[in-house]
Each structure stands twice: as C-alpha cells, then as structure tokens.
C-alpha cells in the first residue's frame, strides 16, 4: 500500500515534458496491458484507445488542443474514444469473445446477453455516450496509476476540440468519438509544477463514514 500512496504523491499533471526522452517498448506495452485489464461495466470495454507517437500527427493534435505543449513534447498521446451508435451488435461481439475465450457455447450465455441488451436498449443514444465515456475514464484512471507506479509521467486532459481530434485521427469512419486524452512521457527538469505540494480535501471533508 505504501508504494501506491508514495507513487500517487509523486505523480502530478505534468505540464512540461522532456521531448528527448521516450517510452521504451516494454514501458509502452505495460501501459497498454494495464488499460486492457481495466474494469468496465459488464466488461464491455465500449471504447478504443488511439496511441499517437507520430510527431506530425502530434503537431496537428496540438493545434486542436489550443497549443498545449504536452501534445508535442510528450512521448505518446493516448486518446480515449468511445464507441458511437452502441447497440446489440457490440454485445454480440462481446458474447462471441467470451465464448471463444472460455470455451463455452454462445447459447449458454443467452441470459447474460439478454441482460446486457436490455440495458443497452433501455438507454438513449445520448445516455449510452455518457455511460461509455464513464467506462473510458476508468481506463484513463488505470493508465494514470500504472504510469505513476512505474515512474512514468502523465497529464490527463479534456482541453481539446473533440471534433477536430475525430477529424485528424479519422475516428468518424470508425464510429468513434474522442472524450479524453493523456499525454505520457517524462517530466522536464525545469517543470516547476513537480515541486508544488499537492492540494486535496482533508479526509474528514472528503469521506463520509456510515
């Protein structure tokens, strides 16, 4: 537990990255594996993560993120994009994956499938987008904690033009929509924010014990 708390105290929303220091292949794969294992409602994982390393693309994204330097200086940009037009076909795909992974018949999963389809069909398109966004944010949280535990810096960001990101990354074609991003890499030595004391609510003002 102490290691986790120490790592969470160490991390901060990095504002200035060392543009010359990149994630190793092993570090990148570890972060991807952590996101892959992140929990989601029913296990549906109703989002995809676009990992951007290409500097030219990062320059375009920077322009669509109001010129924030993290977009070009960080080693990688993780873009969390929800599945649009979420429907029963996504449930069917998930059920097929369960059947193949666990070696069971699709027919034996009908009860679970019906529950998920009932949930999906009971919500409007707008409600599904909100629901899916919440699942994506769980993945983002897992990314941030895993990065911190491995002394990799990250900055979660919402300050960007979602539509522009969709256009630059060709997400509309895939029925995806960018909802959150994280710049990931290593802090610059002169980033003053790393020296600031964290400001958080006191525990007795944050937690309610019943």
How high is the mean pLDDT in each 10-residue block of the chain (210 residues)?
95 97 98 98 98 98 98 98 97 98 98 98 97 98 98 97 98 97 98 95 97
- The closest of 81, 104, 90 to 171, measured between CA atoms, is 81
C-alpha distances in angstroms, 122 versus 88, 116, 119, 127?
11, 10, 5, 9
Q: Do 143 and 154 contact (CB within 8 A), yes or no?
A: yes
Q: Which domains does the chain have, with CATH numbers?
A: 2-206 (3.40.109.10)
> Which residue in 171, 174, 136 sits closest to 156, CA to CA?
136
Check residue 199 and report its DSSP letter.
-
> Within 13 Å of residue 85, how many CA atoms lie on the same side as its CB?
6
């Amino acid at each position: 537990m102490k290691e986790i708390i120490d790592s969470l105290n160490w991390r901060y929303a990095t504002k200035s990255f060392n543009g010359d220091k990149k994630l190793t292949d092993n570090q990148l794969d570890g972060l991807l594996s952590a996101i892959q294992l992140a929990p989601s409602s029913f296990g549906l994982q109703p989002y995809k993560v676009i990992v951007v390393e290409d500097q030219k693309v990062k320059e375009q994204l920077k322009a669509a993120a109001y010129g924030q330097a993290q977009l070009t200086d960080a080693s990688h940009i993780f873009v969390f994009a929800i599945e649009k037009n979420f429907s029963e076909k996504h449930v069917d795909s998930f059920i097929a994956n369960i059947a193949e992974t666990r070696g069971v018949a699709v027919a034996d999963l009908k009860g679970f499938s019906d529950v998920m389809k009932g949930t999906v069909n009971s919500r409007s398109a707008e409600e599904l987008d909100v629901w899916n966004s919440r699942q994506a944010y769980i993945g983002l949280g897992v990314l941030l904690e895993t990065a911190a535990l491995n002394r990799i810096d990250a900055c979660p960001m919402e300050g960007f033009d979602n539509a522009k990101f969709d256009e630059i990354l060709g997400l509309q074609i895939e029925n995806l929509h960018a909802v959150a991003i994280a710049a990931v890499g290593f802090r610059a030595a002169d980033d003053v924010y790393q020296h600031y004391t964290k400001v958080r609510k006191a525990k007795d003002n944050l937690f309610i014990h019943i």
